[in-house]
C-alpha cells in the first residue's frame, strides 16, 4: 500500500524523472540526504533500475574523519491529497491487492486514498559539496566499496534530496464495484469482512528521493554525475590502460609534428640559401677563385676525418663532407667543414 502511494505521488509530482519513490515504509528513514544507495539494473526485460538502501553515508566511505561541510536546505513543496480508483485487472491493482492482502470478492476496483498533507523538500547544497570532494578520496577497503566494485551492474549513488511528510499521515484502501453515476457503489450490507484496509505512519517519513551517481577513479578520486548524460561506476583497469595509451599516442603524434615542422623550416631555409647562390653569376659568387680569398682543402690530407658540413649538415640530416677551410674557425675549432659546392662559397659570402 505504501509503495503504491509513493509511486502515485512521484508520477503526479514529476520532477523530470529524477524522483524515485520510497519502496518500503520500513526503509523510509534510510533515504536521507548524503545517504548511500546502490542502483542496479534488474535485467534487459525491465528497463527500470532497482534502488537498494544501505546503512552508510558518504562520509563513511571517505578517507579521514573530517565531516562533510555541505549544508542541507529545506522548504515546503506542496499539500498532497489523492483519491483514485484502480482496476483490479491492471498491474497496479494486482500489486495493491497482493501488497495489502485485501478481500476483493465481488469487486472489480480498488479505491485508494492517500493523505500526506504538507510535504517538505530537503536538498544538499550541490555547489558546496562539489568544492569539498575535490580534496577527498574514496576508501577502497570499505566493505560497501568492495562489494559494489565486484559487480559491473551496480552503481553507487548518494541521495541529494528527499521529500518528507510534516504530520501523521494515513493510507486507506477499499474494494468495491465501479458505479455508473458515482465513483464507487459500496454495498455496505453485503460487504464481506476484510474489504477495507488502512495504515497510519508518523511525521517526517521520507516518501521520495533523488540521487547523483558516483564515478570512482582508480586513485580514489571521484566525481558526482550531476547530469543524466554522465554515468557512474568504477574506473576499470583496462579503461585506465586504454586512456594512458591514448594520451601517449597523442604526445608522440604532437612530438612528431613538431619535428616535421622544424625539418620543413630548415629545408626551406636551405632552399632559399642555395637558390640565392645559384641564381647569381659565378663571377659574383665563387669567392674562393678570387685573389686573397680563403682556400678549400681536403681535410683528409691533414688527418681530419669526414664529418657533417657546418652549413647543411646540422639537424636531423647529417650531410657529411671531407672538404673544409683552415682560414675559418668556429667554437674554438681551427677549421670548418664545408662542401666544395656550393656550401664553401655560400659560407664565405655570408662571413664577408
The residue to which cell 477495507 is assigned: 196
What is the rounded (10 degree) CA torsion for 17, 19, 25, 26? 110
Furthest C-alpha separation in the chain: 138
The answer to whether the CB of 210 falls within 8 A of the CB of 19 is: yes
Nearby residues of 314 by Cβ (< 8 Å), 6 or more positions away: 308
Q: What is the mean pLDDT of the chain?
A: 77
**In terms of pLDDT, which residue wins out, 128 or 103?**
128
Q: Is the pLDDT confidence value at 237 over 90?
A: no
pLDDT of residue 178: 56
Confidence of residue 164 (pLDDT cuts 50, 70, 90): very high
The stretch 208-223 carries a mean pLDDT of 90
Tens digits of per-residue pLDDT, 37-62? 999 876 665 557 889 999 999 999 99
Tens digits of per-residue pLDDT, 268-301? 655 555 555 444 444 434 444 444 568 888 888 8
CA-wise closest residue to 36 among 172, 189, 213, 173:
213
pTM over 0.75: no
Amino acid at each position: 500500500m505504501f509503495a503504491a502511494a509513493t509511486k502515485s505521488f512521484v508520477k503526479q509530482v514529476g520532477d523530470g524523472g529524477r524522483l524515485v519513490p520510497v519502496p518500503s515504509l520500513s526503509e523510509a528513514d534510510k533515504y536521507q540526504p548524503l545517504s548511500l544507495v546502490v542502483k542496479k539494473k534488474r535485467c534487459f526485460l525491465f528497463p527500470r533500475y532497482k534502488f537498494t538502501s544501505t546503512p552508510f553515508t558518504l562520509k563513511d566511505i571517505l578517507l579521514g574523519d573530517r565531516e562533510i561541510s555541505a549544508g542541507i536546505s529545506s522548504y515546503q513543496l506542496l499539500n498532497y491529497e489523492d483519491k483514485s480508483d484502480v482496476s483490479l485487472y491492471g498491474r497496479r491493482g494486482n500489486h495493491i491487492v497482493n501488497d495489502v492482502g485485501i478481500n476483493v470478492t465481488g469487486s472489480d476496483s480498488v479505491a485508494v486514498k492517500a493523505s500526506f498533507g504538507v510535504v517538505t523538500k530537503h536538498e544538499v547544497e550541490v555547489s558546496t559539496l562539489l568544492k569539498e570532494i575535490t580534496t577527498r578520496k574514496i576508501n577502497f577497503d570499505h566493505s560497501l566499496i568492495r562489494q559494489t566494485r565486484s559487480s559491473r551492474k551496480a552503481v553507487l549513488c548518494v541521495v541529494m534530496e528527499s521529500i518528507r511528510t510534516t504530520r501523521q499521515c494515513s493510507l486507506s484502501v477499499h474494494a468495491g464495484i465501479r458505479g455508473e453515476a458515482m465513483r464507487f457503489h459500496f454495498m455496505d450490507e453485503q460487504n464481506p469482512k476484510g474489504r477495507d484496509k488502512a495504515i497510519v505512519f508518523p511525521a517526517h517519513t521520507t516518501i521520495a528521493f533523488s540521487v547523483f551517481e558516483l564515478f570512482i577513479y582508480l586513485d580514489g578520486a571521484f566525481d558526482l554525475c550531476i547530469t543524466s548524460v554522465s554515468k557512474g561506476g568504477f574506473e576499470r583497469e583496462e579503461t585506465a590502460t586504454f586512456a594512458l595509451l591514448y594520451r601517449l599516442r597523442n604526445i608522440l603524434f604532437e612530438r612528431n609534428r613538431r619535428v616535421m615542422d622544424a625539418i620543413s623550416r630548415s629545408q626551406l631555409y636551405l632552399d632559399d640559401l642555395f637558390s640565392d647562390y645559384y641564381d647569381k653569376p659565378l663571377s659574383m659568387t665563387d669567392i674562393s677563385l678570387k685573389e686573397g680569398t680563403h682556400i678549400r682543402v681536403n681535410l683528409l690530407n691533414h688527418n681530419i676525418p669526414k664529418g657533417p658540413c657546418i652549413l647543411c649538415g646540422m639537424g636531423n640530416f647529417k650531410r657529411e663532407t671531407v672538404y673544409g677551410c683552415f682560414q675559418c674557425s668556429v667554437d674554438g675549432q681551427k677549421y670548418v667543414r664545408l662542401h666544395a659546392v656550393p656550401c664553401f662559397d655560400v659560407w664565405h659570402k655570408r662571413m664577408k
